[in-house]
Structure 1
Amino acid sequence: MRTLATFAGFALIGAMIFTIVSFSVTPAPEPAAAAKPYTETLQERLKRLPGDYRGWAELASQYVDQARITGDPSYYAKAEGALDTAAKLRAGDDAVLAGQAALAAGRHEFSDAVRLAQRALDANPYSAAAYGVLADAKTQLGDLRGAERAVAKMLDLRPGVAAFARASYAAELRGDVDGARKYLEYAHKDAWLPADVAYARYYLGELALHSGDLATANDWYTKALQAYPAYTPALAGQAKAAALGGRLTEALGIYERVVERLPLPQYLIEQGETQLKAGQQPDWTLLKAQRRLFESAGVRDHLTWAEFESDHGDPQQAVKHARAEYDRNSNPVAADALAWSLYKAGQPEEALPYAKKATSTGWRNPLLSYHRAKIEQALGRSMRIDPGFDPSLSALARFS
């Protein structure tokens, strides 16, 4: 599932550059002597103008985005520090509140994110950024109608890559694949930053992948990397397409590059499952280290560990994590995680209501459909399983 972190910022921020353009007010004798644009980092600007509370809020947003880009959760602490400074300068400002909401969402504190985003909108009803965070957080909390209303407001206020991407996901969750593709195509046409182009192409690839069209998916991933070679999700997409297509050696070679760049838990689990498929024994040491790192940074991600434990560890621990996730964020993916954990723990009857909830929105998610079918079969009911679905590579079927 696309998490809120996916939408924390659509352009990959590299050097955090703040560009200022200045023009000469008198004619220059020679063109070579004409004034040129110059750049100033945001940090340098804040040293010069320490009272710029919106600058501090922007810096915090960039730190939240860096946590997503690099997989380094220590950026959340930096974001918190920048937001504390901004709040001291101008408590109640909508940009500061929206930044606090984005940080809460990045740490998977989605109820807090909703509360803070709503406060930002109370301060400024025209804040498209706040509506974006509100949409993401409500999606994670399972309030899909509330999320769609927030997306609609964002589309009205600021149609563009960020709004189109959210509209695509809302359509996807209700089973409207054509609508999801249409909005991603809008995002693709609107994008001009290389990272935004790569983002749109990557998710067009994801739609194709989960529809079973591996060739089209790989083509989109390749085009995403052509637009922005550093876009790691597209590289991981190529690895998924290779693994699902049976090209395991190729997939493992790509996964080595992926986890060297960005050792996120999702990628490490995908790599491990591909190794198992290839007859190799995965080493989960780095995955467990990443788990401790995220926990120490205040990121509560019970969902990832519920999914991992149910497929590769202790089903009872999976149930514990899944219940904790579902109690906080009762979305379709959390419902599926709880259903599958209960099934793997030998409780299919208790699992079924959650499996039904997970598949109730119309979302055409092959993994959720497989889990429900297995649970129904365990209860003696006939339900078709897609013969093309490979349960040994379940992590690769999860929507990112």
Structure 2
Amino acid sequence: MKTIKTLSTLLFTALLMLSCNQKSNKIIAQKDYNKYLEIKDNKSRDFAQGEINFWQKKYDKAPNQTSYLSLIASNYSKLFENTGNIKYLYKVEELLLQVNKEYHYQGVGSIRSLGRNYISQHRFKEALVLANKALAIGEGMKETQKLLFDVNMELGNYTDAEKNLKYLNDSRDFDYLIRVSKWNDHLGDLKTAISLMEKARDIAEINDNNSLKIWTYSNLGDLNGHAGNIQTSYDYYLKTLAVEPNNSYALKGIAWIAFSHEKDTKEANRIIDNISKRHHTPDFYLLKAQIAEYENDFLSKKTNLNDYFTMLNTINYGAMYNKYNTLIYADDKNTASKALEIAKIEIDHRPTPDSYDLLAWSYYNLGDSKKALAIEEEYVVGKSFEPKLNYHLATIYKANNLNEKVTPIKKELLKSTFELGPNLEKKIINL
């Protein structure tokens, strides 16, 4: 009897400890963010629309005042950020083309603005042409170097990007800090990337600049998530929402924590469904498809992917979703050849390690593991520290019987399961 009682006590204690650990492991709480899901108004959107109406009336009365068009364009950019509606991004382009035409492409500010618009559209080579045009004019060189850094990073011109960064070198400058943070993230040094973003955050807070606070808080949410600091990531997303209650990016970050960290698919879907009512973009269907796959609900996964492609076919997003399309098509043997076609287009648009990885992954899924390996070794190995790319690399190594190279990558990937998500976590364990 004593033995049975002792075993019962031990079992109860173990279950209690397990229960406590599970509770302590939970991070998100509805009471923290429900108020942001239930917001009916959108002050940032309404303010931007009010500014557009104000400056449009002034321009209508004085159509020779080209500077008014730039102000209208700036507020359409804010509408795009706030709603995700691509028509606003195209409206910005239309206005900036008019501005630059009237300035005979001699105003560096409007040239750079159009360049940034092209970056948002994933028209990186055109953005680089504009950045170099601004550089040749020679005014506002630091601002042009910032644009050049951003474009060169997108194009994989890392040597040039590093030169742009050295030109900017000023540890007291917010724009320099966020870029050198991005550079260190690219190098795989997350600790330094976070530290530099925290310095940028301090500048934003000292100056009480809300737009810069939103930028740093949301980026610190991302960076800390990648580093496995999930609680800190969550706290920064909440700080973002405290400044901008309609920030869909932060809410999406919380939805990812609900899904990837807590495996609470119901809550993740609830958050996504609420965000997409006011910020409707195709990527929400992809997240819901991932969640459905985790639940083994393949009918729901198919429905969400169909809705995703329907939206892309209905609305012109240009090359903005090429990466996602390649990965979706590559994972199905029946559409892997289509993935290969898009991957080649992506390499033409932006010859980065990421784009070459898409090409290698497409060849792997078409059954050509040798060609996939050759591409990875020439264009990806040692050039990127992205976990998704490393998962592809490990899979391709395994297909080529290079198991000794798989083991160290697998070890690192197991540290990145939050970033990669539950579906890939299962696949990593089986590597």
1:219 aligns with 2:239: no
The alpha-carbon distance between structure 1 residues 294 and 136, as it changes in their structure 2 partners (threshold 3 A), is farther
Partner of 1:63: 76
CA distance in 1, matches of 2:61, 2:165: 37
CA contact (8 A) 2:82 2:246 kept: no
CA distance in 1, matches of 2:311, 2:81: 14
CA distance in 1, matches of 2:356, 2:103: 40
- Displacement of 1:14 in angstroms is 5.5
The alpha-carbon distance between structure 1 residues 343 and 66, as it changes in their structure 2 partners (threshold 3 A), is farther
- Displacement of 1:233 in angstroms is 0.8
Residue from 294, 314, 327 that aligns with 1:277: 294
The correspondence of residues 93-108 of structure 1 with structure 2, limited to 5 A, is 93-108=107-122
The alpha-carbon distance between structure 1 residues 247 and 43, as it changes in their structure 2 partners (threshold 3 A), is same
Q: Percent identity?
A: 22
CA contact (8 A) 2:97 2:114 kept: no
The alpha-carbon distance between structure 1 residues 127 and 54, as it changes in their structure 2 partners (threshold 3 A), is farther
- Displacement of 1:294 in angstroms is 4.6
Structure 1 or 2: larger helix share? 2
Residue from 382, 388, 410 that aligns with 1:360: 382
Amino acid at match of 2:291: T
Amino acid at match of 1:85: Q
1:309 aligns with 2:329: yes
1:43 aligns with 2:56: yes
- Displacement of 1:359 in angstroms is 4.0
Partner of 1:250: 267
CA-atom RMSD, angstroms?
Answer: 2.9
Cα deviation 1:151-189 (Å, max 9, x = unaligned)? 4444559922x4432221111101121221122112211
The alpha-carbon distance between structure 1 residues 179 and 393, as it changes in their structure 2 partners (threshold 3 A), is same
Partner of 2:66: 53
The alpha-carbon distance between structure 1 residues 47 and 262, as it changes in their structure 2 partners (threshold 3 A), is same
CA distance in 1, matches of 2:92, 2:172: 25
Give unpaired runs (5+ residues) of structure 2. 1-43, 426-431
CA distance in 1, matches of 2:148, 2:120: 13
Amino acid at match of 2:55: L
TM-score, normalized by length of structure 2? 0.75
Partner of 1:35: none
CA distance in 2, matches of 1:300, 1:274: 22
1:88 aligns with 2:104: no
CA distance in 1, matches of 2:368, 2:78: 40
Cα deviation 1:96-124 (Å, max 9, x = unaligned)? 21122122222211111011011112223
The alpha-carbon distance between structure 1 residues 276 and 301, as it changes in their structure 2 partners (threshold 3 A), is closer
Find the residue that maps to 2:140 and give its secondary structure: coil
- Displacement of 1:320 in angstroms is 1.2
CA contact (8 A) 2:165 2:176 kept: yes
- Displacement of 1:139 in angstroms is 1.2
1:139 aligns with 2:146: no
Partner of 2:366: 345
Partner of 1:109: 123
- Displacement of 1:51 in angstroms is 2.5
Residue from 318, 321, 327 that aligns with 2:339: 318
Partner of 2:221: 205
Find the residue that maps to 1:243 and give its secondary structure: helix
What is the number of equivalent residue pairs in this alignment?
A: 362
CA contact (8 A) 2:127 2:151 kept: yes
Find the residue that maps to 2:47 and give its secondary structure: coil
Find the residue that maps to 1:261 and give its secondary structure: coil
Partner of 1:29: none
Amino acid at match of 2:180: A
Partner of 1:376: 397
Partner of 2:185: 172
CA distance in 2, matches of 1:155, 1:261: 39
Find the residue that maps to 1:371 and give its secondary structure: helix
CA distance in 1, matches of 2:320, 2:421: 27
Residue from 172, 181, 184 that aligns with 2:197: 184
CA contact (8 A) 1:135 1:147 kept: yes
CA contact (8 A) 1:64 1:106 kept: no
Amino acid at match of 1:360: G
Find the residue that maps to 2:401 and give its secondary structure: coil
CA contact (8 A) 1:335 1:354 kept: yes
Partner of 1:120: 134
The alpha-carbon distance between structure 1 residues 335 and 154, as it changes in their structure 2 partners (threshold 3 A), is same
Amino acid at match of 2:119: A
CA distance in 2, matches of 1:289, 1:15: 32
- Displacement of 1:364 in angstroms is 3.4
CA contact (8 A) 1:306 1:337 kept: yes
CA contact (8 A) 1:120 1:130 kept: yes
CA contact (8 A) 1:98 1:117 kept: yes
CA distance in 2, matches of 1:271, 1:150: 39
The alpha-carbon distance between structure 1 residues 114 and 41, as it changes in their structure 2 partners (threshold 3 A), is same
Partner of 2:350: 329
Cα deviation 1:288-328 (Å, max 9, x = unaligned)? 13312453x64554222112222367222111111110122
Cα deviation 1:318-374 (Å, max 9, x = unaligned)? 11111110122111221222222222222221112333433423x432212111111
Give unpaired runs (5+ residues) of structure 1. 1-11, 20-38, 396-400
